Amino acid sequence: MRSSLSTVLTGGLIIQGVTASWLLPEARNFIYIVPDGYGQASQTMARDYVSLLQNGENPRAPVSIQLAADRMVIGNVRTQASDNLITDSAAAATAFGCGVKTYNNAIAVDDDGSPVGSILEAAKLKGFKTGLVVTSTINHATPACYAAHVKDRNSYEKIAEHEIGYSHPLGPVVDILMGGGRCYFKPQSDPTSCRSDDIDLFGFAKEKGYRVLQDRVGFDGLNKGLSKTGDLPYIGLFNDDQMMYEIDRSRQPEQEPSLLEMVETALNSLDRATKWSLKGYFLMIEASRIDHAGHANDPAAHLHDTIMYNDVMGFVRDWIDKHPDTLMMSAADHECGGLTLNGFNPIPLKDVSMSIEQVGRLWDAYNGTDRRAYLIETILPGYGLTGLSNAEIDMVLENDNVGGDLTRLLSSKAGVNWSTGGHTASDVTLYGYGNGWRGGNLKSDMAGNHDNSELPAYIEGVLKVKLSDATRELKRHGIDWVGKRDVTSPDHIHSH
């Protein structure tokens, strides 16, 4: 049945200027995928790289192909924050997770600092199972906006508390949490902790019935979510910091699971948990480190995490074909790096075997006596820069800025250009998929240009949940529990 909406109500707030005639196909499950920091040029670079590798590596005779995401384009999305034309991940995720425009740095609070309910919380209140699967720290801005409410994104300890339910007024609202950020869940007495207090969030999680996983062996024990060891709830954090870039992880797969492996496991667990239920699940997936590579202007890391995003999109499409009561939408929070591809030939990137982050770790750890030889014999080959002139090598050694110099040299070699180390105001692509008539309705409903704050209203309609219910329940507990704002914290130009 077609319903006409002249305004969209989200979280009790009216989004002006929205006129929609939505078919709103009902589905039991919804998957939302965020390729953080990804823009149209990111997809072009990945597509052309894969195409050239498959078709002779001759950029003068290119063959056009499509990656998984290319087959699911619906429209595009506007991204500005309430206080800036250029959004950060926190304001963006509050918009597409809660339906509310807010200031940069805000985590699921409005401009006044009052909590606003997320689509995940709204789904949980109605009996849906929920999950967050990311490659950043789990308490980074995007996942935080689905299960935490703080006035400043840098309140990492408080965000971790909210996400596991320790100080969240609704208790635990996420059934699966996977990503990095392990150190924020350990008391300060643990030598690997990065907390400033004695709160043991892993211990709290166990008391609440969560299975706690902290390494690859623990993840493998989930058996892809297909056996009782993969029963809900569980939290798997596989790095104290961000998870590894895919270019690094793929060479050390025994260290951490890939985003694709985590997604497959989470979907199997959620499917098993809801198989006999009238209510399904809501899952947010984030390919987080595309953004970090954009900040670093690292073309190889950006490329390989973008390819992994496409692998996940292809897997989810196949999953939906086998589980047709599921819908998916995907859009970035913002573009990062101002990536352009003039003079472009990505083939030199195939010689790169490590991210600039890994380069930095190796360079900082070197304690030998011949840094020039180490640069020539280990660092430059690993970063695809063999054959530099003596003058270029001298420049790198004299500048003592290996990260900045090597990313600039590699980008120049591949014809990859960056205009910034921060975010840009560019619109981002909206993708979506559903099987059969549901997919047709999704495309019909969401074709065109949308503000990012409009997106969760559509998920509301599909799952038959209300953001306003979640907001009302949160505010019933007052606002003293909301994390405070630090006015000295950085704005949207942040390191991650």
**How wide is the angle at C-alpha 168 spanned by C-alphas 164 and 169, nearest 5°?**
145
Gap between the Cα atoms of 82 and 467, Å rounded? 19
Beta bridge partners of 120: none
Classify strands 335-336 and 281-286 as parallel, antiparallel or unpaired. unpaired
Instruction: List the one residue out of 323, 211, 209, 310 whose CA is nearest residue 267.
Output: 323
Instruction: List the one residue out of 158, 138, 142 whose CA is nearest residue 483.
Output: 158
Residue appearing with tokens 């995003």: 309
Q: Where are the beta strands (DSSP E) in 164-269?
A: 176-180, 211-213, 234-237
Residue among 51, 89, 258, 355 flagged as catalytic: 89
Cβ–Cβ under 8 Å, residues 252 and 244:
yes
Element (H, E) at 329: strand 326-331
Cβ–Cβ under 8 Å, residues 174 and 132:
yes
Gap between the Cα atoms of 29 and 452, Å rounded? 21
Amino acid at 53: L
Classify strands 326-331 and 428-434 as parallel, antiparallel or unpaired. antiparallel
Classify strands 29-34 and 73-78 as parallel, antiparallel or unpaired. unpaired
Preceding amide of 233 cis, omega within 30: yes
**Is 89 considered catalytic here?**
yes
Please give the biggest Cα pair distance in the chain. 74
Total count of residues recorded for the chain: 496
Burial 227-262 (b: 16+ CB within 10 A, else e): eebbebbbbbbbbbebbbbbbbbeeeeeebbbbbbb
Gap between the Cα atoms of 362 and 427, Å rounded? 37
Instruction: List the one residue out of 43, 80, 67, 31 whose CA is nearest residue 334.
Output: 80
Gap between the Cα atoms of 120 and 470, Å rounded? 9
Which residues are within 8 A (CB) of 371 and not within 5 positions of it... i.e. 6 or more apart?
Answer: 397
Q: Cα 266 to the chain's mean position, in Å?
A: 15
**How wide is the angle at C-alpha 375 spanned by C-alphas 373 and 380, nearest 5°?**
130
**Enzyme catalytic residues:** 89
